[in-house]
């Protein structure tokens, strides 16, 4: 199997070494040194395939990693695509060249030096010139249709949705909605119910794990968001406002910031504990989030439009923000979260709420497309089993939606 730069295999090699199944050679790093794993003998493989220690390699990605003329690299921070295919491909080559020099070649050298592998694993660019490992993409092709210029070994299985996300239809029956809402704090349920009775839309604001991982002072950005909510509510006029739920959780274990009372005159609920997106998002009318792959898909499954405010420009967040904007299901902030002010956030809220019927209709159509896809978990498991059986990874998979190259 091919291997990209050494990064994916190193943990497995170290594990086998600790278990006594793989030992570094005394002359590791010398030219022509062979892998010492039992049964491999450091044999060369025809066609550039590289399968030391008998390891079957399948690469899994949540964002695009194959060169294509259809989309930009997801982490380049320039959106999802440029006007011409050759420009997209150029950006891929530039990005891969930087990654190859600064990451994959050093990792390959470290792998060869430690384990004496022969032949050495190819770099990412060398793989692009030949074959790549079988690759599973676990995002929705309703959001990002599969590029037509991808190789057959790159398959899109669909998002890995839980049973609750896939089973609940759009516009769930009252009994199903009540069952999902039971997972939410009582105070939050009462707050949302009161807003619905008053005919006011409910906006959910949450930056996910980015709140604690990226910001040195989470309360400061939360204060900006709360003041932006207050300004947008004041600008809406009496009786035409909206309710807002602002998430203050900063960590996976439920850490949260102690927040002061909401700004005077605002209608805001501080949510200080983790809650399932599948339970909360169907109850709100608009989401505000950072554009992570998981949250983007959660909002898409719920059929809820989004304002996406990227936190990190060196991640896939700008890519997903642009995808949702192009699908007509949301608004992409021109500023990253660190540059946001209360006034600019208020403008984003007013813009999205003013176009809410149009955005909501597009989000509902997008949700229908995501839910119509095959079970992503089952498709991914099937793809892995085919690779283990020596079959083509895409055999038997239904053809996903495809974008022109």
Summarize pLDDT for 193-228 with one digit per residue, the tens.
999 999 999 999 999 888 888 888 888 899 999 999
Q: What is the chain's mean pLDDT, rounded?
A: 78
CB 34 within 8 A of CB 42: yes
Residues 95 and 138 in one domain: yes
- The answer to the question of residue 5 being in a domain is no
Summarize pLDDT for 252-279 with one digit per residue, the tens.
555 666 676 777 777 899 998 889 898 9
Give residue 309's domain range: 168-370
Highest mean pLDDT among 65-69, 80-84, 168-172, 173-177: 80-84
Please name which of 257, 168, 163 lies closest in space to residue 207, comparing C-alpha atoms: 257
Residues 335 and 388 in one domain: no
Separation in Å, CA 392 to CA 4, 57, 58, 152, 379: 19, 13, 12, 9, 13
- The answer to the question of residue 202 being in a domain is yes
Residues 182 and 255 in one domain: yes
- What is the pLDDT at residue 45? 29
- What is the pLDDT at residue 208? 85
Residues 202 and 350 in one domain: yes
Residues 379 and 366 in one domain: no
- What is the pLDDT at residue 235? 82
pLDDT at 251 over 80: no
CB count in 10 Å sphere of residue 255: 14
- The answer to the question of residue 3 being in a domain is no
Highest mean pLDDT among 5-9, 69-73, 125-129: 69-73
Residues 156 and 20 in one domain: yes
Highest mean pLDDT among 31-35, 64-68, 304-308: 304-308
- What is the pLDDT at residue 204? 97
Query: In 148-288, where does DSSP find H-type helix?
Result: 163-167, 174-181, 186-197, 210-214, 218-236, 277-280
Residues 195 and 343 in one domain: yes
Please name which of 319, 359, 317 lies closest in space to residue 338, comparing C-alpha atoms: 317
Of 217 and 7, more confident: 217
Contacts made by residues 356-359, CB under 8 angstroms, sequence distance 24+: 356/201, 356/285, 356/286, 356/305, 358/328, 359/286, 359/305, 359/328, 359/329, 359/330, 359/331
- What is the pLDDT at residue 55? 58
- The answer to the question of residue 1 being in a domain is no
- What is the pLDDT at residue 309? 97
Residues 343 and 388 in one domain: no
- What is the pLDDT at residue 239? 47
The Cα–Cα gap between 89 and 349 comes to 35
Highest mean pLDDT among 65-74, 202-211, 216-225, 283-292: 283-292
- What is the pLDDT at residue 403? 66
Summarize pLDDT for 97-133 with one digit per residue, the tens.
887 777 777 777 776 777 665 555 555 555 555 566 7
Of 170 and 144, more confident: 144
The percent of residues above 90 in pLDDT, for the chain, comes to 43
Residues 120 and 216 in one domain: no
Q: HEC states along 313-327?
A: CCCCHHHHHHHHHHC
The Cα–Cα gap between 403 and 105 comes to 32
pLDDT at 48 over 60: no
Of 48 and 387, more confident: 387
pLDDT, mean of residues 84-94: 93
In 72-226, at which residue ranges do the beta strands (DSSP E only) sit?
Answer: 135-137, 146-147, 154-156, 202-205
Residues 267 and 385 in one domain: no
- What is the pLDDT at residue 264? 75
pLDDT, mean of residues 339-351: 96
Burial of 145 (0-12, 13-18, 19+ CB in 10 A): middle
CATH no. for residue 320? Answer: 3.40.50.2000
Residues 21 and 71 in one domain: yes
The Cα–Cα gap between 147 and 270 comes to 42
- What is the pLDDT at residue 263? 76
Residues 34 and 141 in one domain: yes
- The answer to the question of residue 295 being in a domain is yes
- What is the pLDDT at residue 316? 94
- What is the pLDDT at residue 102? 79
- The answer to the question of residue 2 being in a domain is no
Strand ranges of the sheet holding 59-61, from the earlier edge strand across to the other edge? 59-61, 135-137, 154-156
15 pLDDT tier (thresholds 50, 70, 90):
low
pLDDT at 405 over 60: no
**DSSP letter string over 272-305?**
-S---HHHHGGG-SEEEE---HHHHHHHHHHT--
- The answer to the question of residue 124 being in a domain is yes
Of 264 and 350, more confident: 350
pLDDT, mean of residues 159-163: 74
- 287 φ, ψ to 5°? -115, 145
The per-residue b/e assignment along 101-131, b for 16 or more CB within 10 angstroms, e otherwise, is: eeebbebbeebbebbbbbbbbbbbbbbbeee
32 pLDDT tier (thresholds 50, 70, 90):
very low
Helix (H) or strand (E) holding 160: none
- What is the pLDDT at residue 105? 75
Total-model pTM: 0.80
The percent of residues above 70 in pLDDT, for the chain, comes to 70
- The answer to the question of residue 247 being in a domain is yes
pLDDT at 158 over 70: yes
Domains identified in the chain, total number: 2
- What is the pLDDT at residue 202? 97
pLDDT at 6 over 70: no
Of 310 and 4, more confident: 310
């Amino acid at each position: 199997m091919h291997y990209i730069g050494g990064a994916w295999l190193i943990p497995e090699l170290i594990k086998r070494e600790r278990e006594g199944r793989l030992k570094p050679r005394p002359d590791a790093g010398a030219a022509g040194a062979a892998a010492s794993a039992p049964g491999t003998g450091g044999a060369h493989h025809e066609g550039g395939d590289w399968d030391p220690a008998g390891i079957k390699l399948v690469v899994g990605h949540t964002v695009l990693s194959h060169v294509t003329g259809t989309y930009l690299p997801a982490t380049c921070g320039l959106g999802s695509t440029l006007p011409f295919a050759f420009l997209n491909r150029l950006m891929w080559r530039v990005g891969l060249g930087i990654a190859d020099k600064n990451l994959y070649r050093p990792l390959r050298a470290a792998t060869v030096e430690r384990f004496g592998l022969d032949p050495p694993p190819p770099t990412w660019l060398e793989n692009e010139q030949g074959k790549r490992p079988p690759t599973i993409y676990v995002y929705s092709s309703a959001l990002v249709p599969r590029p037509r210029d991808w190789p057959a070994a790159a398959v899109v299985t669909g998002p890995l949705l839980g049973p609750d996300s896939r089973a609940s239809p759009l516009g769930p029956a009252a009994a199903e909605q009540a069952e999902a809402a039971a997972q939410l704090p009582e105070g939050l349920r009462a707050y949302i119910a009161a807003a619905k009775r008053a005919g006011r839309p409910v906006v959910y604001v949450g930056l996910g794990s980015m709140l604690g991982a990226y910001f040195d002072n989470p309360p400061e950005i939360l204060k900006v968001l709360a003041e932006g909510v207050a300004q947008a509510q004041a600008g809406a006029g009496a009786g035409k406002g909206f309710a807002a739920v602002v998430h203050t959780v900063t960590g996976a274990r439920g850490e949260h910031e102690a927040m002061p009372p909401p700004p005077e005159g605002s209608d805001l609920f501080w949510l200080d504990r983790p809650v399932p997106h599948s339970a909360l998002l169907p109850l709100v009318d608009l989401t505000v989030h950072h554009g992570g792959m998981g949250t983007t898909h959660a909002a898409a499954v719920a059929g809820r439009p989004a304002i996406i405010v990227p936190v990190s420009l060196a991640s896939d967040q700008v890519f997903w923000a642009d995808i949702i904007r192009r699908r007509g299901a949301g608004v992409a902030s021109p500023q990253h979260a660190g540059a946001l002010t209360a006034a600019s956030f208020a403008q984003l809220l007013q813009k999205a709420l003013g176009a809410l019927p149009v955005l909501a209709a597009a989000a509902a159509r997008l949700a229908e497309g995501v839910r119509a896809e095959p079970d992503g978990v089952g498709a991914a498991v099937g793809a892995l089993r085919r690779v283990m059986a020596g079959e083509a990874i895409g055999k038997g998979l239904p053809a996903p939606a495809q974008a022109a190259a």
